[in-house]
Chain A
Amino acid sequence: MAETFALIGGGYATSRAADCLRQEGFQGRIVLISEEQHLPYSRPPLCKKGLLVDMPVKRLVLRHQNFYDDNNIELRLGASVTGIDRRNRIVTIESSEPLQYDKLLIGTGGRPRTLPIQGSDLAGIHVIRTVEDARGLKAALAPGVRLVIIGAGYIGMETAAAARMAGMDVTVIELTGRLMSRVVAPVTSEFFARYHLDHGVKLMPHRSAMAFEGAGRVEAVLLDDGQLVATDVVLVAAGNIPEYRLAADAGLECEGGIVVDDRCRTSDPNIFAAGDCTRHPSVRYGRRIQLESVDNALEQARVAAAGMCGRRVRHAHVPWFWSDQYDLKLQIVGLSDGFDEVIVRGDADKPGFTVWYLKDKEVISMEAVNSPIDFVQAGRWIGGGAKVDAQILADADRHLDEAVLVPAAPPDPLASSTDAMVEASYDRHLAGREA
């Protein structure tokens, strides 16, 4: 009897996992369940080009129908999972037959944080997660229309750029003192701030929204400093919350996200999780992290698929991120935990510069603005533990290779993931649960 692997969620993690399961040679049944009506699609464009032009979902899908057909992957679209019965290994689905599974992957992603403040149910207040969200926001956009964006993260700033390109009046309200403060160095934040200001975006740092005002429809945002910012439309871009309700209800260990190990296993050996909904231990960084990242979702999907097929592959990957604003491509690779030196290479006033985080001369993270080739080099260095001479690195006239003190180790195909202790502790962990 062929096994059934069920995949819950309609994003990067589940569609990539379906692909990887087939590449692993899994010949059983694969069922992908998504509450959205569409094939799994790409969300990043929604707050960029998606706000400027009509983007049919066909141009956003991660894989086309022929991929699912050719690989014999069943799709249950528009199907909302109501619960997971772990004992009987059954997924219950709203107004649909329940699904018996042998292995389950949860890839439910995240949902936009909403603000628990007065007036948040007024019309004209948007979030962006789905293509419908984006269409709703796009419909409200027109030249001269006032838009307040709450949150200066990737989504907020990407939307700001798109809205400016559409001729809108854009104000960004940010709790901290700088843009994308969670992910980039101050120098990079400053560069982007200047770029946005030059493009006419109004930035209001160190402030937060206290209430939305208006009669049925939002007309102004009340800030914590008492200012009232008049507006026609609001986008709340205050970060994402991992969507782990299903897992928590099913009694899986959760901690602000579904807790998984470095093989993407949850506390139930038949259930795996991948993507934004997880909190996972990083072999590389020695701590549990939760990433909102396409790359992480793809990599965890690969690891989970291998695990579902009984193969031991660990998640020890160098994470990377990107953001597109105007004609700028911001690329980040690695996490900067514990850096002891930051090097700026190139002119931080102009696109093309890079920022390098070193820890005992080893490159651990890097940010690039319109410098994709250096980004790839940084990825190799970080993956291979290369050490560099900071002074040479800082000199943009010298070739990157000249800075190398200890070259990167070649990519380790096994991803250096054999950590017997983690393994043993997980096994103990499972044993304890079952007892």
Chain B
Amino acid sequence: MRVEDRPREGAARPFKASLDAWSRAVKLAGGVGFGLKQLPRSDKLLGPGGGRGKWIAADCWPDCGSKGYNKAYVEDGVVVRMGTDDNIEDSWNRPQLRACARGQSLRLWLLGADRLKYPMKRKNWEPGGGQKELRGKDEWVRISWDEALDILAGELKRVKETYGNRAILANFVGTITARFLGAYGGFTEQWGGHSLGTWMNAIFFTGYEMQWSDRFDMVETKLFLLWGTNPVWSQAGLPAYTYWEAKKRGARFIAIDPFYNPTYEMLTDEWIPIRPGTDHTMLLGMMHTLVVEDDPSTNPLIDWDFMHRCTVGFDRDHMPEGVDSSENFVDYLLGKDDGQPKDAEWASEICGVPPERIRWLARELAKERDAVLCTSGGVARVDNADSLPQAFITLAAMTGHIGRAHSQLALAHHFGTNGGPQLVQGQNSRSYSNSHLRAPPVLNPLASNTMAGGLVVLPTPGCINIYEINSAVLNEQYTEVDGAKTPIDLRMIYHAHGSRVNQIPNTLEAIKAHRKVEFVVTQNMFMNADAIYSDLVLPVTSRWEREGNVCIGYREQLLWHSKVMEPYFECKDDLWIGVQLAKRLGVDPTIVEPWSWGQEIFNQVADARVMQDDGKTLEPLVTITEEDLAHFGFEGEPQVGRIPIREFQEKGIYHIPREPGDNHSFVYLEAFRNDPERHPTHSQSGKLEIHCQALADVVNNLGWAKIRPIPSYNPPLEGYEATFSDWPARIKGEYPLQIYNVHMPRNAHTFFDNATVMRELFPHEFIMNPADAEARGIANGDTVLVRSPWGKILRTTWVTPLVMPGVCVLGQGARVDLDEETGIDHGGCANVLKGGTLTGGGHSGFNSVIAQVEKWTGAPLRPDLDRGAIIPLPGERM
């Protein structure tokens, strides 16, 4: 770094870029002696009592789905340390919204040595490409913003004029960046999403939506089945604390999962290990048990009243109108159609749970009145698992746990743990991707006129399924919603937020796709995998460097973050980039930015609403006086609300008071259970659809699978059965192990993954059972080569009995670090192992991965810390 490039005020102190540097320092400095060079900073005053700085509510926007409150202590423009919520006295009734480890690392992450500082182009880039094969290997050259914007505008114009707007692939760039792209004539968008797996479709059609009961109701539950959840790692913060409250009140917890994760360590009384992707069979085995053992008079196990009134498709007596009664679920369960009863023995063969254990769990759930069946998207991120959600819904319905107090089927419950109408309303999104200007939306004419850059969940004409993106680039065709294979000619890839190369299955294919097109641009804060394989990289500001943000916490909090620091080096906002492009390309800039970001946030604050004690009426959250308007300098009207606007800004958070028995309690689907005719679900029949034709149609139209409208089991392509070369004879195949793909504490997807502090504290290990390791001569800490049909990675192992035999655990989100010579990824990117197979409803299938593992005989893998920080410009290292 040259002297004139020193960070301005507000920038970071240098932080160690790598372990290499650290260990060098250790080796160079005399080990013992009189080496005191400076007093540590902690000798200075840090606290608000003596410090000269102030706390500023600081945004944490990465998309883990949780929300914690973070604040930054800023002294003379320098962010000195982080803090969390101490704005109210902490109590169970009104808990502080404490941050997680990732939130606490925000300062060290955002101000790390590897933040991008300048616009850069690939050295050998030329208009139209220029040695495209060098993407990912080329050198970087620092350029001015003028040059960068000229290049980007030039390529957009050239591609548009030569091939048309459809040639611009800008999948899920977010609504801010997409404002310009939409106004410029549109772009090719994706549909589908990762998080919820097959629930993504199911919640639109089955009548069950992703909603939860109020936490005061929830903590009185007696039995929790935690079926594939781990909020401690995935949605850290308040959810685990909420479960802990239930535990303290005496609830029992049973985990059903291949991996005994930290959430289970804290909570569970029982662990039922189950193979990944086989949950559907276990559910069927449990339901079979209930059907054969139920006797309404002597052994009531099934909530027949609910089944009669509120569901369709369960048995011959409860079929939707006009449907052949043989298509009912119970007949399938009993094997009346295919001769195979889906009993516990059948299930056990596949899922690995002893049959008696399956039956035991079924009885436990059926006999406990106050039970919650908690599951997650992860369980449904399995190839061909389109019917799995209906199996969960059916089991919860049969056992009487829908629409009743202290009972619920709770999908992604770890994400919510607290349901009901939002009590403090504002920008009703916790994370980055859905945040947008509430200005008149810009539409994307090439995506059926959906909001440009918005999340397109369901199959939508003109859009490409997320898992077909890379093959669409390479093979120049994609699948339309009616299954038609449709030609497409993609020439340019535009990345704004997210990390597509890394986070979409088949990363190796993504790299090929990125080397095929004529131009790739990435706007990011760091050299993520998208940026690595780009021609042009634009450094963007973090939320800390923008004029604040409003977002909800959980049900009871609204947060208002302020600007923490000036933009880092030459970083610019995504919105600013859009405006500059508009000016260069003849688009009205006021379409892109109709009013300033500051005005937008002010408007959102003014419009925030809070629930009154009656539980029905909303009132404005903030009072705004004429003096306030003058102070802020934004347009607006005075208003009367619950708290002064400046108090809200200073604290950055408002918590609504709660107490047991208040008017805010909520039980999901209670109204439906009580009177399904007056309070129908949104399904076609208005009931919970065990037989769901609409879902089957959407899936079957795409042509990737053929499913029945009832929850029948469809084996995944790369599930347990596929670990055998001969399944009937039980002969293991080339890839005998399954990989279970989890969120890890180091990162929220790729966010935080590069942070030195996170790489130091949270290793990204390949987790194996001792039996599997021993059989391969692998010891704890060894480097292993992991092979799947799709790619190879190196990892160090953590050999532990916490994972079941036959299953390995690999966290997702680590940045790919491809050795081009061997084709082996040293970064441990999970999508190098996961293929780009298209199944069912075009959902994610991250938990259907098969693999083989061997001890690596080459040099041991370098610690991840060594490759955490990528500083692309030579000589820039701090």
Contacts and interface: CB of A to CB of B under 8 A. Distances in A.
Contacts of B657: none
Contact of A302 (B28, B32, B35, B37): B32
Contacts of B30: 317, 411, 413, 415
B23 A25 contact: yes
B36 interface: yes
B137 interface: no
Nearest to B35: A411
A23 B32 contact: no
B27 A376 contact: no
A302 B30 CA distance: 9
Contact of A20 (B29, B31, B36, B860): B31
A20 B36 CA distance: 20
A380 B34 contact: yes
A27 B860 contact: yes
Interface string B443-480: 00000000000000000000000000000000000000
B729 interface: no
B32 A295 contact: yes
Interface in B536-559: none
A299 interface: yes
A230 B28 CA distance: 56
A383 interface: yes
A298 interface: yes
B23 to A, nearest CB: 7
B34 A383 contact: yes
A376 B37 CA distance: 12
A414 interface: yes
Interface in B8-32: 23, 26-32
Contact of B31 (A299, A379, A383, A414): A299
A305 to B, nearest CB: 9
A411 B518 CA distance: 54
Contacts of B32: 295, 298-299, 302, 317
A24 B36 contact: no
B661 interface: no
A311 B34 contact: no
A33 interface: no
Contacts of A415: 30
A364 interface: no
A413 B33 CA distance: 11
A233 interface: no
Interface string A396-416: 000000000000001101110
Interface string A347-386: 0000000000000000000000000000010011001000
Interface string A152-175: 000000000000000000000000
B33 A414 contact: no
A23 B19 CA distance: 12
Interface in B832-870: 860
A413 B29 contact: yes
A1 B85 CA distance: 53
A179 interface: no
A105 interface: no
A306 B30 CA distance: 12
B40 to A, nearest CB: 15
A295 B30 CA distance: 13
Contacts of A79: none
Interface in B225-271: none
Nearest to A384: B34
A318 interface: yes
Contact of A383 (B26, B28, B33, B860): B33
Q: Interface centre among A306, A317, A410, by most B CB within 10 Å? A: A317
A382 to B, nearest CB: 8
A413 B35 CA distance: 9
Contacts of A311: 27
B34 A302 contact: no
B846 to A, nearest CB: 33
A36 B830 CA distance: 50
Contacts of B37: 410-411
Interface string A13-48: 000000010011101000000000000000000000
Given A25-B23, A27-B860, A411 B33 contact: yes
A124 to B, nearest CB: 39
Nearest to B33: A317
A23 B26 contact: yes
Contacts of A383: 33-34
A415 B27 CA distance: 11
Interface string B29-49: 111111111000000000000
Nearest to A309: B27
Nearest to B24: A413
B34 A376 contact: yes
Interface in A267-323: 295, 298-299, 302, 306, 311, 313, 317-318
A379 B33 contact: yes
B29 A376 contact: no
B27 A24 contact: yes
Contacts of A410: 37
Contacts of B860: 27
B31 A318 contact: no
A107 to B, nearest CB: 16
A23 B34 CA distance: 20
Nearest to B34: A379
Contact of B34 (A25, A299, A313, A318): A318
A376 B36 CA distance: 9
A302 B33 CA distance: 12
A24 B28 CA distance: 11
Contacts of A313: 27
A295 B34 CA distance: 12
A191 to B, nearest CB: 25
A220 B547 CA distance: 89
Q: Interface centre among A25, A313, A379, A411, by most B CB within 10 Å? A: A411
Contacts of A414: 28
Interface string B566-605: 0000000000000000000000000000000000000000
A37 B63 CA distance: 56
Nearest to A23: B26
Contacts of B28: 413-414
A318 B26 contact: no
A413 B31 CA distance: 10
A318 B32 CA distance: 10
A45 B23 CA distance: 33
A303 to B, nearest CB: 8
A117 B29 CA distance: 48
A311 B34 CA distance: 22
B393 to A, nearest CB: 48
Interface string B799-811: 0000000000000
A311 B24 CA distance: 12
Contacts of A318: 33-34
Given A25-B23, A27-B860, A376-B36, A302 B31 contact: yes
Contacts of B23: 23, 25
Contacts of A25: 23
Q: Interface centre among B31, B32, B860, by most A CB within 10 Å? A: B31
B29 A411 contact: yes
B264 to A, nearest CB: 26
Nearest to B36: A376
A299 B35 CA distance: 14
A3 B36 CA distance: 36
A348 to B, nearest CB: 24
B38 to A, nearest CB: 11
Contacts of B27: 24, 306, 311, 313
Contacts of B36: 376, 380
Given A318-B34, A410-B37, 15 more contacts: A20-B31, A24-B27, A25-B23, A299-B32, A302-B31, A317-B33, A376-B34, A379-B33, A379-B34, A383-B33, A383-B34, A411-B29, A411-B33, A411-B35, A415-B30
Q: Nearest 3 CB-CB pairs, A to B?
A: A379-B34, A413-B28, A302-B31
5 contacts: A306-B27, A380-B34, A411-B29, A411-B33, A413-B28
